[in-house]
Amino acid sequence: MRKKITSALLMILSFTVLSANAGNLYFTIKLPLSTTRFKSDEGPTDADDSKLPASPASRDATRVKLYFELSRINPSIIREFETAWRYAKSGMSDVEGLVLIFRKLDGSYMAVQGAFTNEYKQVSFKWHPNAIAIVHTHPNDVNPEPNGNDCQVADRLGVPMFTLTMRGMYMYDPGTRKITRVQEGIDWLDPAKWTEVRQK
């Protein structure tokens, strides 16, 4: 059964609805050089939902999500970054990889690889409301920073948006609405560089 979606909802979301089936809505966000598509159904990512942390009990989830600690990036998360980067052929390909980051009950972070969609300068993923950050690759021939629509997704979902690139790792923080480079070059693949972040 298809859901009816009002034009007011579409204006609020600023997304184009691609399809609606079984109560799941698919949205796409047009980017200048690529498109990010995500599925919003309050359901799990492509990973096994039993492996993901429980939802925050508080309705204040957006405020909690905006506080992202770079010092909690660990070797298992870096391995997921590396998998996404390999999929994107070190930025040489026009396909993008994606990783969602979650906070576990003990406060540590874990990463879940998004499905490899093999789309031209875009990536589609199923949004999980427990995610606290979105990380995706950018091809080498585009701006390495999160672009305008990347930032709109981050603002809408209330989570930081990271880009993995040959020219550095960048973060857009929807709380401050600023973009910062968090690692230079491909230092984001080096666990020792994240150790330096933890020691600061």
Predicted confidence band of residue 196 (pLDDT cuts 50, 70, 90) = confident
Mean pLDDT, rounded, for 3-26: 33
Predicted confidence band of residue 52 (pLDDT cuts 50, 70, 90) = low
CB 79, CB 121: distance < 8 Å: no
Find, among 88, 90, 91, 114, the residue nearest to 101 by Cα.
Answer: 114
- Dump pLDDT digits (tens) for 116-131: 877 887 788 888 889 9
- Dump pLDDT digits (tens) for 39-48: 433 333 444 4
> What global pTM score does this model have?
0.71
- Dump pLDDT digits (tens) for 134-186: 999 999 999 999 998 899 999 999 999 999 999 999 999 998 999 999 999 99
What is the spatial distance between Cα 43 and Cα 49, in angstroms, rounded to a whole number?
A: 8
pLDDT at 6 over 80: no
Predicted confidence band of residue 195 (pLDDT cuts 50, 70, 90) = confident
Strands 24-30 and 35-40: antiparallel
DSSP structure string for the chain: -PPP--HHHHHHHT-EEEEEETTEEEEEEE-SS-EEEEEESS---SS-GGGSPPPPSSS-HHHHHH---GGG--HHHHHHHHHHHHHTGGGTSS---EEEEEE-TTS-EEEEEPP----TTEEEEEE-TTEEEEEEE--TTS-SS--HHHHHHHHHHTS-EEEEETTEEEEEETTTTEEEEEEETTGGG-HHHHHHHHH-
pLDDT for 169 equals 97
CB 15, CB 5: distance < 8 Å: no
User: Which residue ranges form the domains of the chain, and what is each CATH number?
Assistant: 59-199 (3.40.140)
- Dump pLDDT digits (tens) for 76-103: 999 999 999 999 999 999 899 999 999 9
Strands 35-40 and 122-127: parallel
